[in-house]
Amino acid sequence: MRILVTGGAGFIGSNFVIRSLESKSNLSITVLDSLTYAGSVANLEGSLQFINFVRGDIRDEIIVDNLVSSADLVVHFAAESHNDNSLENPRIFFDTNVMGTLTVASACAKYNVRLHHISTDEVFGDLPLESTESFSSETPYKPSSPYSASKASSDHVVRSWIRSMDLVATISNCSNNYGPRQHWEKLIPHTIRNLHNGVPAKLYGDGLNVRDWIHVDDHIDGIWLAIERGVPGETYLFGSRDTQSNKSVVECILEKIGLRDAKLEFIRDRPGHDRKYAVDPVLAEKTLGWKPARGSILNELENLIPWYEKLLRD
């Protein structure tokens, strides 16, 4: 099978490439990535000799058309992904996430190539902290930030191409991923690096915002099940029901690093900061047979922290 992976030099995309090479046979992988500040070929170290890496932009119709025409499947990760940046510079989020997805979806429809589009639970907005509800694929879209609005728009692009342009595609919306190769700007690597440099760990607002944490490998296994067993046109939600506040995650890192009594720094909250995400993955569990293999993030951090500490030392 010839797969085109967009955004394969980023956090989830590179983990997808590496895990797929390890666990699947007869794959021919091409990565298309423009290497923004968030992407790095170093993330693909050890895999580069087994793949075809193309530096290029998903908004470039000629490159995308050419690569999609010789693929059997496109897995579309490429995006601007950092909420904070989307408040400072929203335009690039809509350019990349919406127009880039439109370019990819159009080429897939033109060559009748199956697309799997990667999206986020943030398209649903947030839940009150005290809520016991969770998002399902029936939950109306209510994005809060330019990032989530651009991802919501990209989902609508894919659905409209399915309905009107004969695109064969599935979509997945996943909760907060953690694992190796995440950019330093994101909460877990950022906290580990700060502590390594003797800087206090920082939290937005009261730090009580809750996220549904999922290991990146569980997300990747879900993506493969959606590709292999999913119904074209369907949307699958992935989340591990492991809802933890940012403060609990940061305190757990402090404890595991041996800095339990270190002071936290609470900084001015991000405008529009979503309070709580929680995902109901029952459709993926029942119809794809998906089940996260990892335990709670509060246990998994034990294995993850040394991975980032080694990177900081080397």
Ligand X SMILES: NC(=O)c1ccc[n+]([C@@H]2O[C@H](COP(=O)([O-])OP(=O)(O)OC[C@H]3O[C@@H](n4cnc5c(N)ncnc54)[C@H](O)[C@@H]3O)[C@@H](O)[C@H]2O)c1
Q: Are 135 and 121 in contact (CB under 8 A)?
A: yes
Quick one: which H or E segment has residue 182?
none
- Residue closer to ligand X (CB basis): 259 or 307: 307
Furthest-apart CA atoms within the chain: distance in Å:
58
Q: Looking at 121, 126, 212, 218, which residue is catalytic?
A: 121
- Residue closer to ligand X (CB basis): 173 or 247: 173
Whether 57 is catalytic is: no
Position 34 contacts ligand X (CB under 6 A): yes
Binding-site size for ligand X (CB under 6 A) equals 30
Looking at 29, 51, 102, 174, which residue binds ligand X (CB under 6 A)?
174
* Residue 153, C-beta contacts closer than 8 angstroms, at least 6 positions apart: 94, 97, 98
Q: Looking at 147, 178, 236, 308, which residue is catalytic?
A: 147
Position 81 contacts ligand X (CB under 6 A): yes
Q: Looking at 33, 57, 80, 122, which residue is catalytic?
A: 122
Residue of 186, 147, 202 whose CA lies nearest to 12: 186
Position 123 contacts ligand X (CB under 6 A): no
Looking at 18, 33, 243, 251, which residue binds ligand X (CB under 6 A)?
33
Strands 28-33 vs 114-120: parallel, antiparallel or unpaired = unpaired
For ligand X, the nearest residue by Cβ is: 10
Position 137 contacts ligand X (CB under 6 A): no
Position 59 contacts ligand X (CB under 6 A): yes
Position 78 contacts ligand X (CB under 6 A): yes
Q: What minimum distance in Å lies between the beta carbon of 58 and ligand X? A: 4
C-alpha distances out from residue 130 to 206, 245, 272, Å: 15, 12, 18
Site residues (CB under 6 A) for ligand X, limited to 206-265:
none
d(CA 306, CA 63): 39
Looking at 108, 113, 134, 151, which residue binds ligand X (CB under 6 A)?
151
d(CA 232, CA 116): 9
Whether 242 is catalytic is: no
Residue type present at position 145: S
Residue of 47, 57, 111 whose CA lies nearest to 79: 57
Position 167 contacts ligand X (CB under 6 A): no
Looking at 2, 19, 183, 275, which residue binds ligand X (CB under 6 A)?
183
Q: What would you report as the CA-atom Rg of the chain, rounded to the nearest whole angstrom?
A: 19
Q: What minimum distance in Å lies between the beta carbon of 158 and ligand X? A: 12
- Residue closer to ligand X (CB basis): 121 or 251: 121
Looking at 38, 149, 158, 220, which residue binds ligand X (CB under 6 A)?
38
Contacts 24+ apart (CB under 8 A), 57-61: 57/100, 58/6, 58/7, 58/32, 58/34, 58/96, 58/100, 58/101, 58/103, 58/104, 59/95, 59/96, 59/99, 59/100, 59/103, 60/103, 61/103, 61/106, 61/107
- The residues that touch ligand X, with contacts defined as CB under 6 A, are 7, 9-13, 33-36, 38-39, 57-59, 77-81, 96, 100, 118-120, 151, 174, 176-177, 183
Catalytic residues: 121-122, 147
